Structure 1
Amino acid sequence: MKMRIMLFIGSVAIAITITGSKWAEASVVPPAPALPAPESPGIALQSPQAVQDPYHAALGVTSDQDIYDALYDGQTLAGLATERGQDPERIVRLQVAELTAQLEDRLAGGSITPAIFAAQKAELADIVSRSVYGTAAG
């Protein structure tokens, strides 16, 4: 009896595997066609590479890999910015602004109370500053 059950379960598993892979092949969506060039010569399209990330600009780097390499070598974000002629406080301001916006979204969504919002917002500048400059909490 147990052998029949095992054979049945094995057969069902194989059938599901085979049909599952066939469904996956059938659901592949072809790539979207390329958009034609704009008709008007006065329209200039901006390439994605031309838009620089504000954090990259504030650090004076061109890629996440530059940041990763510097941090891996033990450098702080402030050290990286200073080395490249940038103001480290700009990074602090950018991060505080982004985190504040996230807190505001959480407050508006009801996931935090106004008291928690105020307490966390009060700590943001100090926490971010310590992170950027690589100083210990204390």
Structure 2
Amino acid sequence: MNIKHVMFVGTMIVTMSFAGTAWGKSAISPIPMPKWSIVDLDNSSESEDDELLGALNQSSEEELADKLYQGQSLRSIAQNSGGNYDRVIAIQIKQLQEQLDERLANGSISSEQHALQSMEVAELIIESANRAYI
């Protein structure tokens, strides 16, 4: 796998973890349709962020971002802080699959694209979570 693909997937996963579905809709879209907002009126992503931070045993998004910026992988963050790596993977797979399902329901991807991308979700998430980006 080339480095551009790895960097793209890693950035996409981290961004989706922080921004919920606001960024996730355009992260995979061939024609970006960003939904930008200073205030996220949809509080459902807040509980997912808290769930991810809890699984990583991190107190804040800033603490997590600092560790990622220092070149730690999600696996090493979870292991070093007493987090639950398997739960981190499950949360991120669920989030990315929900976004794919939403894009299929909205008609922005075909059922064939949905099926192909769904088959790759777990592999991409696991590979990205195990890689440190420095």
In the other structure, the counterpart of 1:121 is 118
* Residue matched to 1:93: 90
Q: Which runs of 5+ in 1 are unaligned?
A: 1-50
Report what 2:76 is aligned to.
79
Q: 1:82 to 1:122 in 2, by over 3 A?
A: same
CA distance in 2, matches of 1:131, 1:52: 18
CA shift digits 1:32-78 (9 cap, x unpaired): xxxxxxxxxxxxxxxxxxx9700100100010111111112211111
Q: For 2:96 and 2:89, how far apart are their aligned partners in 1? A: 11
Task: List per-residue Cα deviations over 1:59-116 (Å, max 9, x = no partner).
Answer: 0001011111111221111100011112212111101101111111111111111110
Distance 1:52 1:96, change over 3 A: closer
Question: Structure 2: any 5+ residue segments left out of the alignment?
Answer: 1-47
Paired residue total: 86
Q: Which residue of 2 aligns with 1:11?
A: none
Distance 1:89 1:119, change over 3 A: same
Query: After TM superposition, what 4+ stretches of structure 1 lie above 6 angstroms from structure 2?
Result: none
Post-superposition offset of 1:135: 7.1
Q: Could you say which residue in structure 2 is the equivalent of 1:61?
A: 58
Residue identity (%): 33
Cα distance in 2, alignment partners of residues 109 and 100 from structure 1: 14
Greater C-alpha radius of gyration = 1
Residues 60, 98 of structure 1: alpha-carbon distance in 2 compared, 3 angstrom cutoff: same
